[in-house]
Structure 1
Amino acid sequence: MNKVLVRFEEGLIAFLLLAATILLFTNVILRYVFSNSPTWAEEVIRYIMIWITFIGGSVCVRNYLHVGIDIFVSNAPPKIKKLLMMLAELVSALFCFIITYYGYENTMLVINTSQKSPALYMPMWFVYIAIPIGSFLMAIRFGINAWKTATDRLDDNNDKLDMSTL
Protein backbone atom coordinates (compact mmCIF):
# COMPACT_ATOMS: atom_id res chain seq x y z
CA MET A 1 0.00 0.00 0.00
CA ASN A 2 2.85 2.38 0.85
CA LYS A 3 4.52 1.79 -2.52
CA VAL A 4 1.28 2.57 -4.33
CA LEU A 5 0.87 5.78 -2.34
CA VAL A 6 4.49 6.79 -2.98
CA ARG A 7 4.13 6.19 -6.71
CA PHE A 8 0.85 8.10 -6.80
CA GLU A 9 2.26 11.11 -4.94
CA GLU A 10 5.52 11.31 -6.83
CA GLY A 11 3.92 10.54 -10.20
CA LEU A 12 1.25 13.19 -9.73
CA ILE A 13 3.77 15.79 -8.62
CA ALA A 14 6.08 14.99 -11.55
CA PHE A 15 3.22 15.20 -14.04
CA LEU A 16 1.93 18.46 -12.58
CA LEU A 17 5.39 20.04 -12.52
CA LEU A 18 5.96 19.06 -16.13
CA ALA A 19 2.55 20.38 -17.17
CA ALA A 20 3.09 23.67 -15.34
CA THR A 21 6.56 24.09 -16.85
CA ILE A 22 5.36 23.43 -20.40
CA LEU A 23 2.35 25.69 -19.97
CA LEU A 24 4.40 28.49 -18.45
CA PHE A 25 7.05 28.26 -21.16
CA THR A 26 4.41 28.27 -23.88
CA ASN A 27 2.63 31.20 -22.27
CA VAL A 28 5.84 33.25 -22.10
CA ILE A 29 6.65 32.54 -25.75
CA LEU A 30 3.11 33.44 -26.83
CA ARG A 31 3.15 36.62 -24.78
CA TYR A 32 6.55 38.02 -25.72
CA VAL A 33 7.04 36.67 -29.23
CA PHE A 34 3.49 36.84 -30.57
CA SER A 35 2.04 39.45 -28.15
CA ASN A 36 -0.87 37.15 -27.49
CA SER A 37 -1.33 34.67 -24.66
CA PRO A 38 -4.32 32.68 -23.46
CA THR A 39 -6.21 34.24 -20.55
CA TRP A 40 -6.59 30.92 -18.78
CA ALA A 41 -2.90 29.87 -18.64
CA GLU A 42 -1.98 31.75 -15.47
CA GLU A 43 -5.07 30.42 -13.71
CA VAL A 44 -4.24 26.82 -14.61
CA ILE A 45 -0.64 27.25 -13.44
CA ARG A 46 -1.85 28.71 -10.13
CA TYR A 47 -4.18 25.75 -9.57
CA ILE A 48 -1.47 23.27 -10.49
CA MET A 49 0.85 24.88 -7.93
CA ILE A 50 -1.84 24.51 -5.26
CA TRP A 51 -2.07 20.79 -5.97
CA ILE A 52 1.72 20.43 -5.99
CA THR A 53 1.91 22.20 -2.63
CA PHE A 54 -0.59 19.96 -0.86
CA ILE A 55 0.53 16.65 -2.35
CA GLY A 56 4.17 17.72 -1.93
CA GLY A 57 3.50 18.32 1.77
CA SER A 58 2.86 14.60 2.15
CA VAL A 59 6.10 13.75 0.35
CA CYS A 60 7.94 16.14 2.67
CA VAL A 61 6.43 14.48 5.75
CA ARG A 62 7.44 11.05 4.45
CA ASN A 63 11.03 12.21 3.94
CA TYR A 64 11.23 14.29 7.14
CA LEU A 65 11.75 17.51 5.17
CA HIS A 66 9.37 19.82 7.04
CA VAL A 67 10.93 22.61 9.02
CA GLY A 68 11.02 22.01 12.75
CA ILE A 69 12.47 23.55 15.86
CA ASP A 70 14.37 20.71 17.48
CA ILE A 71 16.67 22.43 19.97
CA PHE A 72 14.92 20.73 22.89
CA VAL A 73 14.74 17.37 21.14
CA SER A 74 18.41 17.46 20.14
CA ASN A 75 19.56 18.16 23.69
CA ALA A 76 17.18 15.74 25.42
CA PRO A 77 18.14 12.32 26.77
CA PRO A 78 17.38 9.45 24.35
CA LYS A 79 14.10 8.31 25.94
CA ILE A 80 12.79 11.88 26.23
CA LYS A 81 13.93 12.52 22.64
CA LYS A 82 11.86 9.59 21.43
CA LEU A 83 8.84 10.75 23.43
CA LEU A 84 9.13 14.33 22.14
CA MET A 85 9.45 13.13 18.54
CA MET A 86 6.36 10.93 18.89
CA LEU A 87 4.42 13.76 20.52
CA ALA A 88 5.37 16.21 17.74
CA GLU A 89 4.35 13.71 15.06
CA LEU A 90 1.04 12.91 16.75
CA VAL A 91 0.19 16.60 17.27
CA SER A 92 1.08 17.24 13.63
CA ALA A 93 -1.16 14.36 12.55
CA LEU A 94 -4.01 15.74 14.67
CA PHE A 95 -3.53 19.20 13.16
CA CYS A 96 -3.58 17.72 9.65
CA PHE A 97 -6.78 15.80 10.44
CA ILE A 98 -8.36 19.07 11.61
CA ILE A 99 -7.28 20.75 8.37
CA THR A 100 -8.71 17.76 6.48
CA TYR A 101 -12.07 18.21 8.19
CA TYR A 102 -12.29 21.95 7.60
CA GLY A 103 -10.92 21.57 4.08
CA TYR A 104 -13.68 19.08 3.38
CA GLU A 105 -16.29 21.45 4.85
CA ASN A 106 -14.95 24.30 2.72
CA THR A 107 -14.95 22.10 -0.39
CA MET A 108 -18.57 21.11 0.26
CA LEU A 109 -19.51 24.79 0.58
CA VAL A 110 -17.88 25.49 -2.79
CA ILE A 111 -19.72 22.54 -4.35
CA ASN A 112 -23.06 23.66 -2.89
CA THR A 113 -22.62 27.22 -4.13
CA SER A 114 -21.51 26.03 -7.61
CA GLN A 115 -18.54 28.39 -7.73
CA LYS A 116 -16.64 28.54 -11.02
CA SER A 117 -13.14 29.75 -11.81
CA PRO A 118 -12.94 33.16 -13.49
CA ALA A 119 -11.14 32.25 -16.73
CA LEU A 120 -11.90 28.58 -17.30
CA TYR A 121 -15.38 28.43 -15.72
CA MET A 122 -14.19 25.18 -14.17
CA PRO A 123 -15.82 24.02 -10.91
CA MET A 124 -13.75 25.48 -8.05
CA TRP A 125 -14.21 22.37 -5.92
CA PHE A 126 -11.57 20.77 -8.12
CA VAL A 127 -9.05 23.24 -6.69
CA TYR A 128 -10.38 23.26 -3.13
CA ILE A 129 -10.36 19.48 -2.79
CA ALA A 130 -6.55 19.56 -2.86
CA ILE A 131 -6.69 20.81 0.75
CA PRO A 132 -8.45 17.83 2.35
CA ILE A 133 -6.67 15.31 0.13
CA GLY A 134 -3.20 16.71 0.82
CA SER A 135 -3.91 17.21 4.53
CA PHE A 136 -5.24 13.69 4.86
CA LEU A 137 -2.14 12.27 3.19
CA MET A 138 0.06 14.35 5.52
CA ALA A 139 -1.89 13.13 8.56
CA ILE A 140 -1.41 9.52 7.48
CA ARG A 141 2.32 10.11 6.95
CA PHE A 142 2.70 11.78 10.36
CA GLY A 143 0.91 8.80 11.91
CA ILE A 144 3.26 6.40 10.13
CA ASN A 145 6.25 8.44 11.32
CA ALA A 146 4.95 8.35 14.90
CA TRP A 147 4.56 4.57 14.62
CA LYS A 148 8.10 4.23 13.26
CA THR A 149 9.41 6.32 16.13
CA ALA A 150 7.48 4.30 18.70
CA THR A 151 8.68 0.97 17.31
CA ASP A 152 12.29 2.08 16.67
CA ARG A 153 12.01 1.58 12.90
CA LEU A 154 13.66 4.79 11.73
CA ASP A 155 16.52 3.12 9.93
CA ASP A 156 15.43 3.18 6.27
CA ASN A 157 17.27 5.35 3.75
CA ASN A 158 14.39 7.84 3.66
CA ASP A 159 14.18 8.20 7.43
CA LYS A 160 15.73 11.05 9.35
CA LEU A 161 17.21 9.36 12.40
CA ASP A 162 18.51 5.95 13.24
CA MET A 163 16.56 5.08 16.38
CA SER A 164 18.85 2.15 17.16
CA THR A 165 21.16 4.65 18.85
CA LEU A 166 18.44 5.48 21.42
Structure 2
Amino acid sequence: MRKFLSHIEESFIALLLATMVLVTFSQVVARYVFNSGAIWALELTTYLFAWLVLFGISYGIKKHIHIGVDAFAKLFSSPVQRFFGILSVLASMTYAGLMLYGSWVYFAIKFKRGTETDDLPIPEWVFLSVLLISMAMIITRLIPVLWDLLSGKEGVSILGDESKDAIDHFKDDFTQDKDTSINDHSGKGER
Protein backbone atom coordinates (compact mmCIF):
# COMPACT_ATOMS: atom_id res chain seq x y z
CA MET A 1 0.00 0.00 0.00
CA ARG A 2 2.84 2.38 0.88
CA LYS A 3 4.54 1.69 -2.45
CA PHE A 4 1.28 2.29 -4.29
CA LEU A 5 0.72 5.65 -2.57
CA SER A 6 4.31 6.65 -3.26
CA HIS A 7 3.85 5.78 -6.93
CA ILE A 8 0.66 7.85 -7.10
CA GLU A 9 2.41 10.82 -5.49
CA GLU A 10 5.37 10.64 -7.86
CA SER A 11 3.06 10.24 -10.85
CA PHE A 12 0.97 13.23 -9.77
CA ILE A 13 4.07 15.43 -9.41
CA ALA A 14 5.24 14.30 -12.86
CA LEU A 15 1.78 15.01 -14.29
CA LEU A 16 1.82 18.53 -12.83
CA LEU A 17 5.22 19.22 -14.37
CA ALA A 18 4.25 17.73 -17.74
CA THR A 19 1.01 19.72 -17.84
CA MET A 20 2.88 22.94 -17.06
CA VAL A 21 5.37 22.27 -19.84
CA LEU A 22 2.66 21.40 -22.36
CA VAL A 23 0.52 24.46 -21.57
CA THR A 24 3.53 26.78 -21.68
CA PHE A 25 4.84 25.23 -24.91
CA SER A 26 1.43 25.48 -26.57
CA GLN A 27 1.27 29.16 -25.65
CA VAL A 28 4.73 29.83 -27.11
CA VAL A 29 3.69 28.14 -30.36
CA ALA A 30 0.34 29.95 -30.37
CA ARG A 31 1.97 33.32 -29.78
CA TYR A 32 4.90 33.10 -32.20
CA VAL A 33 3.37 30.95 -34.95
CA PHE A 34 -0.31 31.91 -34.90
CA ASN A 35 -0.05 35.34 -33.20
CA SER A 36 -2.68 34.38 -30.61
CA GLY A 37 -2.91 32.67 -27.25
CA ALA A 38 -5.18 31.69 -24.39
CA ILE A 39 -5.78 34.18 -21.63
CA TRP A 40 -6.22 31.43 -19.02
CA ALA A 41 -2.88 29.69 -19.70
CA LEU A 42 -0.75 31.87 -17.44
CA GLU A 43 -3.16 31.53 -14.53
CA LEU A 44 -3.36 27.75 -14.95
CA THR A 45 0.43 27.47 -15.11
CA THR A 46 0.76 29.60 -11.97
CA TYR A 47 -1.64 27.37 -10.03
CA LEU A 48 0.03 24.20 -11.33
CA PHE A 49 3.41 25.56 -10.27
CA ALA A 50 2.08 26.28 -6.78
CA TRP A 51 0.78 22.71 -6.57
CA LEU A 52 4.12 21.36 -7.80
CA VAL A 53 6.10 23.33 -5.22
CA LEU A 54 3.82 22.51 -2.30
CA PHE A 55 3.67 18.80 -3.10
CA GLY A 56 7.40 18.88 -3.75
CA ILE A 57 8.08 20.09 -0.21
CA SER A 58 6.36 17.04 1.22
CA TYR A 59 8.09 14.74 -1.27
CA GLY A 60 11.46 16.27 -0.37
CA ILE A 61 10.87 15.50 3.30
CA LYS A 62 9.98 11.93 2.44
CA LYS A 63 13.14 11.43 0.34
CA HIS A 64 15.45 13.42 2.68
CA ILE A 65 16.55 15.67 -0.17
CA HIS A 66 16.05 19.11 1.36
CA ILE A 67 19.27 20.98 1.80
CA GLY A 68 20.00 21.96 5.37
CA VAL A 69 22.46 24.41 6.80
CA ASP A 70 23.99 22.33 9.55
CA ALA A 71 27.53 23.72 9.75
CA PHE A 72 26.84 25.16 13.20
CA ALA A 73 25.16 21.99 14.50
CA LYS A 74 28.07 19.82 13.31
CA LEU A 75 30.37 21.67 15.70
CA PHE A 76 28.71 19.78 18.56
CA SER A 77 28.50 16.17 19.69
CA SER A 78 25.86 13.76 18.38
CA PRO A 79 23.38 14.25 21.27
CA VAL A 80 23.46 18.03 20.77
CA GLN A 81 23.10 17.57 17.00
CA ARG A 82 20.10 15.32 17.63
CA PHE A 83 18.62 18.04 19.86
CA PHE A 84 19.04 20.58 17.04
CA GLY A 85 17.40 18.11 14.65
CA ILE A 86 14.42 17.62 16.98
CA LEU A 87 14.16 21.37 17.45
CA SER A 88 14.16 22.01 13.70
CA VAL A 89 11.52 19.33 13.08
CA LEU A 90 9.32 20.78 15.84
CA ALA A 91 9.76 24.28 14.39
CA SER A 92 8.85 22.97 10.93
CA MET A 93 5.77 21.20 12.29
CA THR A 94 4.72 24.36 14.13
CA TYR A 95 5.11 26.43 10.97
CA ALA A 96 3.18 23.88 8.89
CA GLY A 97 0.48 23.75 11.60
CA LEU A 98 0.08 27.53 11.54
CA MET A 99 -0.06 27.45 7.74
CA LEU A 100 -2.63 24.65 7.89
CA TYR A 101 -4.83 26.68 10.23
CA GLY A 102 -4.47 29.83 8.14
CA SER A 103 -5.14 27.84 4.99
CA TRP A 104 -8.30 26.42 6.51
CA VAL A 105 -9.60 29.89 7.37
CA TYR A 106 -8.73 31.21 3.90
CA PHE A 107 -10.17 28.14 2.19
CA ALA A 108 -13.43 28.44 4.16
CA ILE A 109 -13.85 32.06 3.10
CA LYS A 110 -13.24 31.25 -0.57
CA PHE A 111 -15.52 28.21 -0.38
CA LYS A 112 -18.40 30.25 1.12
CA ARG A 113 -18.04 33.01 -1.44
CA GLY A 114 -17.75 30.58 -4.35
CA THR A 115 -15.78 33.06 -6.42
CA GLU A 116 -14.15 31.82 -9.59
CA THR A 117 -10.57 32.39 -10.63
CA ASP A 118 -9.81 35.44 -12.77
CA ASP A 119 -9.45 33.67 -16.11
CA LEU A 120 -10.78 30.15 -15.56
CA PRO A 121 -14.41 29.19 -14.87
CA ILE A 122 -13.33 27.13 -11.86
CA PRO A 123 -14.03 28.01 -8.21
CA GLU A 124 -10.95 29.44 -6.51
CA TRP A 125 -11.23 27.02 -3.60
CA VAL A 126 -10.43 24.10 -5.94
CA PHE A 127 -6.95 25.45 -6.59
CA LEU A 128 -6.47 26.72 -3.04
CA SER A 129 -7.21 23.30 -1.58
CA VAL A 130 -3.55 22.46 -2.23
CA LEU A 131 -2.66 24.57 0.80
CA LEU A 132 -4.68 22.31 3.08
CA ILE A 133 -3.53 19.09 1.45
CA SER A 134 0.16 19.97 1.29
CA MET A 135 0.42 21.33 4.84
CA ALA A 136 -1.30 18.20 6.16
CA MET A 137 1.12 16.07 4.11
CA ILE A 138 4.11 18.01 5.44
CA ILE A 139 3.02 17.44 9.05
CA THR A 140 2.32 13.79 8.29
CA ARG A 141 5.82 13.40 6.82
CA LEU A 142 7.50 15.18 9.72
CA ILE A 143 5.91 12.99 12.42
CA PRO A 144 7.94 9.86 11.50
CA VAL A 145 11.10 11.96 11.18
CA LEU A 146 10.54 13.31 14.68
CA TRP A 147 9.85 9.82 15.99
CA ASP A 148 13.02 8.48 14.40
CA LEU A 149 15.06 11.27 15.94
CA LEU A 150 13.49 10.80 19.37
CA SER A 151 13.90 7.03 19.31
CA GLY A 152 17.44 7.15 17.95
CA LYS A 153 16.57 5.16 14.80
CA GLU A 154 17.45 8.02 12.48
CA GLY A 155 20.98 9.31 12.21
CA VAL A 156 21.61 12.85 13.26
CA SER A 157 21.44 14.17 9.71
CA ILE A 158 17.89 14.02 8.35
CA LEU A 159 18.58 16.35 5.47
CA GLY A 160 20.36 15.92 2.18
CA ASP A 161 24.11 16.42 2.62
CA GLU A 162 24.93 18.17 -0.63
CA SER A 163 28.62 18.65 0.13
CA LYS A 164 29.08 14.96 1.00
CA ASP A 165 27.20 13.94 -2.15
CA ALA A 166 29.37 16.24 -4.28
CA ILE A 167 32.58 14.87 -2.76
CA ASP A 168 31.40 11.27 -3.25
CA HIS A 169 30.46 12.08 -6.85
CA PHE A 170 33.88 13.68 -7.41
CA LYS A 171 35.63 10.63 -5.94
CA ASP A 172 33.64 8.32 -8.23
CA ASP A 173 34.46 10.44 -11.28
CA PHE A 174 38.13 10.65 -10.29
CA THR A 175 38.33 6.89 -9.81
CA GLN A 176 36.67 6.26 -13.20
CA ASP A 177 38.97 8.76 -14.92
CA LYS A 178 42.02 7.16 -13.30
CA ASP A 179 40.90 3.65 -14.35
CA THR A 180 40.19 4.85 -17.89
CA SER A 181 43.57 6.58 -18.05
CA ILE A 182 45.37 3.42 -16.90
CA ASN A 183 43.50 1.33 -19.49
CA ASP A 184 44.33 3.85 -22.24
CA HIS A 185 48.03 3.81 -21.38
CA SER A 186 48.18 0.04 -21.13
CA GLY A 187 46.55 -0.31 -24.54
CA LYS A 188 49.16 1.99 -26.20
CA GLY A 189 52.07 -0.09 -24.95
CA GLU A 190 50.67 -3.29 -26.47
CA ARG A 191 50.58 -1.97 -30.04
The answer, yes or no, to whether TM exceeds 0.5 is yes
Instruction: Report the 3-state secondary structure (helix = DSSP H, G, I; strand = E; otherwise coil) of the residue aligned with 1:17.
Output: helix
For residues 72 and 101 of structure 2, what CA distance do their matches in structure 1 show? Answer: 31
In the alignment, what sits opposite 2:68? Answer: 68
* 1:111 shift after superposition: 0.6
Preserved CA contact (<8 Å) 1:115 1:124:
yes
* 1:7 shift after superposition: 2.3
CA RMSD across the alignment: 2.0
Preserved CA contact (<8 Å) 2:13 2:52:
yes
Deviates more, 1:67-76 or 1:34-43: 67-76
Normalized per residue, the structure richer in helix is 2
In the alignment, what sits opposite 1:117? Answer: 117
Cα pair distance change 1:159/1:118, threshold 3 Å: closer
In the alignment, what sits opposite 1:164? Answer: none
Instruction: Report the 3-state secondary structure (helix = DSSP H, G, I; strand = E; otherwise coil) of the residue aligned with 2:38.
Output: coil
The residue identity in structure 2 corresponding to 1:54 is: L
Preserved CA contact (<8 Å) 1:9 1:56:
no
Preserved CA contact (<8 Å) 1:93 1:140:
no
Preserved CA contact (<8 Å) 1:154 1:160:
no
For residues 87 and 5 of structure 2, what CA distance do their matches in structure 1 show? Answer: 24
In the alignment, what sits opposite 2:14? Answer: 14
Cα pair distance change 1:4/1:130, threshold 3 Å: same
In the alignment, what sits opposite 2:42? Answer: 42
Instruction: Report the 3-state secondary structure (helix = DSSP H, G, I; strand = E; otherwise coil) of the residue aligned with 2:65.
Output: coil
In the alignment, what sits opposite 1:56? Answer: 56
Preserved CA contact (<8 Å) 2:66 2:159:
no
For residues 137 and 103 of structure 1, what CA distance do their matches in structure 2 show? Answer: 13
* 1:159 shift after superposition: 6.8
The residue identity in structure 2 corresponding to 1:132 is: L
Cα pair distance change 1:126/1:101, threshold 3 Å: same
Cα pair distance change 1:27/1:102, threshold 3 Å: same
1:20-43 CA distance string (max 9 Å, x none): 111111111011000011111111
| Runs of 4+ deviating beyond 4 Å | 158-161
In the alignment, what sits opposite 2:165? Answer: none
Preserved CA contact (<8 Å) 2:67 2:159:
no
Preserved CA contact (<8 Å) 1:50 1:127:
no
* 1:67 shift after superposition: 4.1
Alignment of 1:1-166 (within 5 A): 2-154=2-154, 160=160
The size of the alignment, in residue pairs, is: 159
Q: State the percentage of identical aligned residues.
A: 23
Preserved CA contact (<8 Å) 1:116 1:123:
yes
Cα pair distance change 1:90/1:8, threshold 3 Å: farther
Q: Which of 1 and 2 has greater Rg?
A: 2
For residues 159 and 153 of structure 2, what CA distance do their matches in structure 1 show? Answer: 9
Normalising by structure 2, we get a TM-score of 0.76
In structure 2, stretches of 5+ residues that fail to align are 162-191
Preserved CA contact (<8 Å) 2:67 2:160:
no
